Amino acid sequence: MLAAIFNEWFKQPFSFLLLQKIILSIVTIVLICEGSRFIIYYSRDVFGNTKTAVGRLLALIPAGILYCSFVLVLNAVIRFYLEHGEWKITADNDAHVFINGTQVTIGLYGSSIFKGAMIFFALLIEYEIFYYFAKLKQTEKEKDRLEKEKLQAELDTLKQKVNPHFLFNSLNSLSSLISEDPLQAEIFLDEMTKVYRYLLRNNEVELASLDTELKFIKSYSHLLKTRYGDSIDFDIDVSDEYLSYLVPPLTLQLLVENAVKHNKLLKHQPLIIHLRTNDKNHFVVTNNIQRKEISVDSTRVGLKNISSKYRLMNQPDIIVTDNNEVFTVSIPLIRNYKIENSVE
């Protein structure tokens, strides 16, 4: 039965030698394809895709050709052994090329290198095309994911902007000040107006200068100080050279609000929020940790919102650290970016 199938497929009598040659051919094809794929993919991991493309090719092509040539030589040697029962690693008599009409014997190694180069270049083109389209598809998926995150981030920002509890508490504080300290009430109302004016207009912009954000956070901190008194304190240390740098609007407010939301505010143990810049072009917000006894739902929506905005702009991500004593968020300050759609 097996012999009949071979006779039909290969139009020659079945023999054990023929079966061995077929198996050898299959193994050779698998070794060349899989080995070449490994070399190509490994070189991409080592050298990257764009910055060192020339260096990658200079290392990849010789390695690939040598590998394919080695497999072809090995195939020829084993095939010769199967046919003649002896090992032969010298030149094949029938491995020739013609140069200007003259026949030149290139032998086993020259023939293998030539064939190996042709095969590897074909596989390289195939794998690179496959990788390009796979990367393109992945980029489209990433773009769709970021768009969804952007929409969710905008929704989260909208929810936080229209915060009825903050507005209600602010109005309560204002009501008390009107009867107790009319002058302070006037100052409070002015700061409250600045806060809500900024909250309403920030939805129209993608970036704001650090100077603008600091002016807003000073008004926002004034409302918090009026409400909580000595239970909260702010320490702002920002170098003037960074005032023109950019950040997503409401970033500082989200970080301050996050600190107030998750920590106890006590007169004898105030919540201290530090806002500063460092020489790494980062704005750092730090607060001492004194977690509330009643667990607060912590989905880190505010931090995810900020992180999503940075990813959407292809900027470095924020850095969050928590050592159970101090909570720190470091956000990159953006310098070179299109600012047509930003607040100055």
Domain boundaries, the chain: 2-143, 162-343
Look at strands 326-332 and 96-99 and give their pairing. unpaired
| Distance between CA atoms of residues 111 and 140, nearest Å | 44
pLDDT for 28 equals 86
275 confidence band (pLDDT: 50, 70, 90): very high
Are the beta carbons of 195 and 188 closer than 8 angstroms?
A: no
Q: Crossing angle of helices 53-84/107-161, nearest 10°?
A: 140
- For tokens 């602010």, the residue is 170
204 confidence band (pLDDT: 50, 70, 90): low
Q: What is the mean pLDDT of the chain?
A: 78
Tens of pLDDT, residues 239-261:
999 999 999 888 898 899 889 88
Amino acid making up residue 102 = T
- For tokens 């920030």, the residue is 202
Q: List, in order, residues 6 or more apart from 177 with CB less than 8 Å away.
A: 184, 185, 188, 226
Residue 56 or residue 105, greater confidence: 56
Q: Does domain 162-343 have CATH number 3.30.1300.30?
A: no
